[in-house]
């Protein structure tokens, strides 16, 4: 339970950081998604990180590594932060938009 609380605290701080007012938003608070269609994926990512934090704390507790409530809480806080830093290392390369699906000579490239 303390692992879930810890990962919820980490996610709340993360969301707070993404919701801060900026000059782009006219100094208004706004949700971390630009389009309402992005909301489910953002919330799903938050849920996944909370589950990961809870799972890590549970594994640490079962393995005898986290013997106190504070240790479980710490594992819960640390897991989402470590996962977020890991995913920050991955960059998706922008590919040119090709809405027709055609190759450069007008034919489909099904071999790729």
Q: Where are the domains of the chain?
A: 1-22+41-93
Reply yes or no on whether the pLDDT at 7 is more than 80: yes
- What would the pLDDT profile of 38-68 be if each residue is shown by its tens digit? 888 888 888 888 888 888 888 888 888 888 8
42: CB partners within 8 A, 6+ apart: 32, 33
CB neighbourhood size of 54 (10 A): 23
Give the predicted TM-score (pTM) of the model: 0.59
- Name the residue with higher pLDDT: 56 or 96: 56
Going by C-alpha positions, the residue among 42, 59, 49 that lies closest to residue 80 is 49
Computed over every residue of the chain, the mean pLDDT equals 77
pLDDT reported for residue 36:
79
Query: Would you state the pLDDT for residue 106?
Result: 54
């Amino acid at each position: 339970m303390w692992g879930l609380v810890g990962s919820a605290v980490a996610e709340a701080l993360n969301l707070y950081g993404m919701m801060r007012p900026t000059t782009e938003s006219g100094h208004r608070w706004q949700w971390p998604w630009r389009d309402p269609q992005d909301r489910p994926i953002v919330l799903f990512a938050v849920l996944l990180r909370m589950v990961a934090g809870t799972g890590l704390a549970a594994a640490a507790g079962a393995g005898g590594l986290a013997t106190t409530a504070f240790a479980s809480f710490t594992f819960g806080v640390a897991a989402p932060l470590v996962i977020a830093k890991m995913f920050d290392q991955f960059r998706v390369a922008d590919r040119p938009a090709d809405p027709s699906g055609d190759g450069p000579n007008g034919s489909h490239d099904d071999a790729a």
